[in-house]
Amino acid sequence: MNWRPTRTARATTTFNPEGLTRAQREGDACVACHKKWPRPRAQVGRLPDNASLFACPECAEALIGQPEENVYPLPRRVAFS
């Protein structure tokens, strides 16, 4: 669990480093497809030692969970009126 600056908890996935390459563990390759270029930028989880793991945009969509079914963003006119 990570703490945001607002001190609210945000759940992150913890990955087992076994089976990951050195490049994946260091954030130089996508954690899912091993693609190295362009360098993956979407943070999708952490290792047990708190090192961040990254994925390319295509893989990040599949790895990052979708919002709950009953949670919908408010329309802009409602949220900022």
pLDDT in tens, the chain (81 residues): 444 455 444 567 788 889 889 999 988 999 988 888 888 888 888 899 888 889 998 888 887 766 556 666 666 664 455
What's the pLDDT score for residue 71? 63
What's the pLDDT score for residue 15? 83
Where exactly are the structural domains of the chain? 21-64
pTM for this one?
0.63
- List Cβ neighbours of 77 (8 Å cut-off, separation of 6 or more): none
Beta carbons of 31 and 53 less than 8 angstroms apart: yes
What's the pLDDT score for residue 66? 61
